[in-house]
Structure 1
Amino acid sequence: MKHLSLKTIDKSNWEDAIQLSVNQEQQPFIASNLYSIAEVQFLDNFYAKGIYLDNEMVGFTMFGIDPDDHNYWIYRLMIDKGFQGRGIGIHAIKLVIEEIRRMNDTNIPLIMIGYHPENLAAKFAYQKAGFIETELSSWGERLAKFCL
């Protein structure tokens, strides 16, 4: 595989991020990147990053410390429809985990993720990356945890 990396979403690449999209059947499972970029402006300790394959943005992620439970959460992770099915998602999840490990100076023990129960691609990708399913949330998402 080519080199995969994360780069902060800023004024130089936000328009690339909002051009990314998932397959039509996946669209009900995830908020738009434009919404996520707007949302991250109002969340302390959260980061929006482009997922790059060499110099091309192929995905988007948003993660940070949730103000309610004080664990790290991956709020968004998507791979553009033109790049799905190549294992990029699993590698991107592992990159996010490594980024969180680098910034985790307060020894937060968990990374949490929530996904739609019918989103089997997300379920299997997170399982392959080491996440363990925990419960169904009150808002209807399947939750999974990764111990740091």
Structure 2
Amino acid sequence: MITTPSPSSPSLRLEPVTSANFDTVCAVEIRADQSHLVSPVVKSLAEAYVHGEVARPRAIVDGGEVVGFVMAFHDFAWNPAEDPADRRSGIWRLNIAAGHQGKGYGRFAVREVIEEIRRRGGSQAYVTWHAGEGSPEQFYLGLGFHPTGELSGDQPVGVLPLTT
């Protein structure tokens, strides 16, 4: 279970991406040295449009400022040809704006997604990451995710059991 601290702002929240905040959310940019590790927000929003039945894109907002973006997936058929019953939920994408990294916003967003998965009856949360220099692997491992030994494309898959 994630027990790491998060920002203490009472106005910290996840908000749906709407026409009112679309441009601001799309403007979230990670550090340049991380661009090979995570796709831009606009690609995530296109994927959310195509996979609307499972994708849950959200702005990470502190006060009135968008500080990041997270997209969850819920009840996704992981490999329907092999096992149609293998349906998973987890973190699809996490982008924290360059100037806001290291402040706990990512931990907050992951914790919120995990709580949503738990409320929906999920018993595990999944995530993938790019391996290599600058990888978010240690971030996810530090939050309690464990490698499953699987790959999604070329990305390792991690799982976090959700105990109640």
Q: TM-score surpassing 0.5?
A: yes
Quote how far apart the aligned CAs of 1:87 are.
2.3
**Structure 2 unmatched runs, 5+:** 1-7, 79-85
Aligned residues of 1:51 and 1:61 also touching (Cα < 8 A): yes
The residue aligned with 1:39 is 47
Q: Which has the larger radius of gyration?
A: 2
Quote how far apart the aligned CAs of 1:18 are.
0.7
Runs of 4+ in 1 over 4 A off after TM superposition: none
1:131 counterpart letter in structure 2: F
The residue aligned with 2:62 is 53
1:54 counterpart letter in structure 2: G
The alignment-based identity, stated in percent, is 26
Alignment match of 2:151 (pick from 133, 137, 143) = 137
Residues 29-74 of structure 1 show CA distances to partners (whole Å, capped at 9, x for unaligned) of 1111011111101211221000111221101011112222311031
| Alignment partners' CA distance in 2, 1:140 and 1:37 | 22
Aligned residues of 1:133 and 1:145 also touching (Cα < 8 A): yes
TM-score by length of 2: 0.80
Q: Going by fraction, where is strand more abundant, 1 or 2?
A: 2
Q: Going by fraction, where is helix more abundant, 1 or 2?
A: 1
1:40 counterpart letter in structure 2: A
Q: RMSD value over aligned CA atoms?
A: 1.7
Aligned residues of 2:90 and 2:114 also touching (Cα < 8 A): no
Larger RCO: 1 or 2 (CA < 8 Å, sep 6+): 2
- What SS is found at the alignment partner of 1:41? helix
Quote how far apart the aligned CAs of 1:121 are.
5.5
